[in-house]
Amino acid sequence: MESTRRLGAWVSELDTPDAVRDRLALVLLDVLGVTAVGAAQPEQRALRAAWRAPDGPAPLIGAGRSVTVDAAAFLNGMALVSLELDEGNKYAKGHPAAHGFPAVLALAADLDSTGADTAAALLAAYEVASRFGRATALRPGAHPHGSWGVPGAAAGCARLLGLDAEQTAAAIDTAAGMAIAGHFDSATTGNPVRNAWMGASATSGLAAARMAAAGMARNTGTAALSLGTLLGSFDPGELTADLGTRWDIQHGYFKQHASCSFTHPAADAVLALRGEFPGAGITSILVESHALGAGLTGTDWTNRLSAMFSTPFVVATAALTGRVDPDSALDDPAVQTLAQRVRLVAADDLTARLPAERAARVTVAFDDGTTLTREVPNPVGDADHHPLAEDDLVALLKTWLPRQPGLVDRAVAVSHELPDLARVGDALRGLAGPDEKELN
């Protein structure tokens, strides 16, 4: 309760310091662009059609229209994570921005908030979610989507609503009691309910902040019970450690592969070796990973979600095509054959380097007797290893959104201009982009 109280007081007074402004803009650009990439997928289009959301003030990013706040928050949250391209944080052990940004952006569009308040709310959402991620050690088998990050969504929405310290703490604590107990196997077996957990995080964060604004919410230490007793263990000291001096948003990672982040170091290692491949065929690929990533061994993916959580698929695709993109083929016979020759094992020396490093060591063997080995400490895109700059993100987004380059440019402009805007409603609604019928 005391840790949540202190966190609520901090959020209620938070402004965006100059030290993190550039990084916040990069994370916002990534969120906006990746949401649009996800929104362009056929399954997301089908979901929007089935949802039949009425018109409203909040944009469906990249989908050509604006809808009600809760529909936008949920659908944008799902689109954002649907292709495993969204920003993450190794210290939080998941995706702080995806938990909170869809809710904050939808609410800011509705309230027509100032840019300064919106930027502060986005930062609050990220930092609170990340701190809850640090504080929570989920039980084996639990997936991080929709659990520890919900308080981040509530914190950002509380900041936008102008709630005081006590109300904000109550919103954060209430949101901690709305965690989803999702199993990691839902991802590896390709069940899109895993994406819905992020939509639920957004709407739960909105609900918790509204309950606090109505005087219904209380700070009773719920996180220690829901995230701790039920879902794992919880260290409340992590909620306030180095509060106001350590900014976790500066230590996240951006993605260049459409796959689970645990597969990225192996993909990067294979891509680094491709230029040295002899003319001989590949007989086997050994991937040594840390304990967190050693379970992604599936070779019978049934859809894109299950493929993105298969190290054999990702490594074979990288080795044969030189890329792992949202449209990488799922039914390529050569990829399927090579994937059967990929062996993934846990390596104690790599596990010992967590969380600062998420390393992988890859050995590729060829039928002429040649072997090549490469080890990488972190994936390309990690802020502490091989960071991606704005130009890199823009190039990736335009590759993934070939029919909407103008939307990427608009996202760049909003990410830069947002903190200084008098009001954000029109700028955010502009991110809906052209109507889908125009694109067709």
**CATH code of the domain containing 306:** 3.30.1330.120
Longest Cα pair distance anywhere in the chain, in angstroms? 72
Amino acid at 70: D
Do 144 and 285 belong to one domain? no
Do 106 and 125 belong to one domain? yes
Q: Which residues pair with 58 in a beta bridge?
A: 67
State yes or no: pLDDT of 228 exceeds 90.
Answer: yes
- Residues 352-376 have a mean pLDDT of 96
- Residues 192-196 have a mean pLDDT of 98
Query: Using an 8 Å Cβ cutoff, are 344 and 363 in contact?
Result: no
Which pLDDT score is estimated for 279?
84
Residue 354 C-beta-side C-alpha neighbours within 13 Å:
18
DSSP letters for 67-121: E-HHHHHHHHHHHHHTTS-S-BBTTTTB-HHHHHHHHHHHHHHHHT--HHHHHHH
Asked if residue 153 belongs to a domain, the reply is: yes
Do 198 and 265 belong to one domain? no
Q: Which residues contact 349 (CB under 8 A, 6 or more apart)?
A: none
Asked if residue 381 belongs to a domain, the reply is: no
3-state SS assignment for residue 430: helix
Do 28 and 157 belong to one domain? yes
d(CA 160, CA 109): 11
State yes or no: pLDDT of 203 exceeds 80.
Answer: yes
Do 319 and 369 belong to one domain? yes
Asked if residue 382 belongs to a domain, the reply is: no
Which pLDDT score is estimated for 362?
98
Do 247 and 325 belong to one domain? no
Asked if residue 157 belongs to a domain, the reply is: yes
Do 239 and 298 belong to one domain? no
Strand 65-67 to 360-366 pairing: unpaired
Domain count, the chain: 2
**Which two three-digit tokens encode residue 310?**
């298969």
Asked if residue 131 belongs to a domain, the reply is: yes
State yes or no: pLDDT of 168 exceeds 70.
Answer: yes
Domain boundary among 323, 356, 376: 376
State yes or no: pLDDT of 357 exceeds 90.
Answer: yes
**Which two three-digit tokens encode residue 217?**
């919410």
Query: How crowded is residue 295: how many other Cβ atoms within 10 Å of its Cβ?
Result: 18
Q: What is the pLDDT of residues 72-92, one digit of tens each?
A: 999 999 999 999 999 999 999
Amino acid at 101: F
Question: Band of the pLDDT at 439, cuts 50, 70, 90?
Answer: low
Which pLDDT score is estimated for 374?
97
3-state helix, strand, coil in the chain (%, to 5): 55, 10, 35
Average pLDDT of the chain, as a whole number:
97
Which pLDDT score is estimated for 436?
66
Asked if residue 184 belongs to a domain, the reply is: yes
Asked if residue 42 belongs to a domain, the reply is: yes
Cα angle vertex 84, ends 83, 87, to 5°? 125
Do 238 and 159 belong to one domain? yes
Strand 371-376 to 360-366 pairing: antiparallel
State yes or no: pLDDT of 291 exceeds 70.
Answer: yes
Q: CA torsion, points 337, 338, 340, 344, in degrees to nearest 10? A: -170
Is the backbone peptide bond immediately before 419 cis, with ω within 30 degrees of 0?
Answer: no
State yes or no: pLDDT of 437 exceeds 90.
Answer: no
Do 286 and 413 belong to one domain? no
Closest C-alpha to 61, from 19, 119, 109, 99? 109
Which pLDDT score is estimated for 434?
86
Q: Which residues contact 269 (CB under 8 A, 6 or more apart)?
A: 360, 361, 362, 374, 375, 376
d(CA 366, CA 371): 6
Do 220 and 106 belong to one domain? yes
Q: Which residues contact 215 (CB under 8 A, 6 or more apart)?
A: none
Do 354 and 371 belong to one domain? yes
Domain boundary among 353, 376, 399: 376
Q: What is the pLDDT of residues 312-344, one digit of tens each?
A: 999 999 999 999 999 999 999 999 999 999 999
DSSP letters for 140-203: TTB--TTSTTHHHHHHHHHHHHT--HHHHHHHHHHHHTT----BTHHHHTT-THHHHHHHHHHH
Amino acid at 346: A
For residue 344, the surrounding DSSP H or E stretch is: strand 342-346
Do 130 and 56 belong to one domain? yes
Q: What is the pLDDT of residues 116-153, one digit of tens each?
A: 999 999 999 999 999 999 999 999 999 999 999 999 99
Q: Domain span at residue 277?
A: 261-376
Q: Is the pTM of this model over 0.95?
A: yes
**Which two three-digit tokens encode residue 257?**
């592969």
- Residues 272-282 have a mean pLDDT of 93
Query: How crowded is residue 420: how many other Cβ atoms within 10 Å of its Cβ?
Result: 10
CATH (domain of 68): 1.10.4100.10
Domain boundary among 376, 408, 426: 376
**Which two three-digit tokens encode residue 349?**
């020396």
Q: Which residues pair with 253 in a beta bridge?
A: 88, 382
Q: What is the pLDDT of residues 233-248, one digit of tens each?
A: 999 999 999 999 999 9
State how far Cα 349 lies from the chain centre: 27
Distance from first CA to last CA of the chain, Å, rounded? Answer: 52
Asked if residue 285 belongs to a domain, the reply is: yes
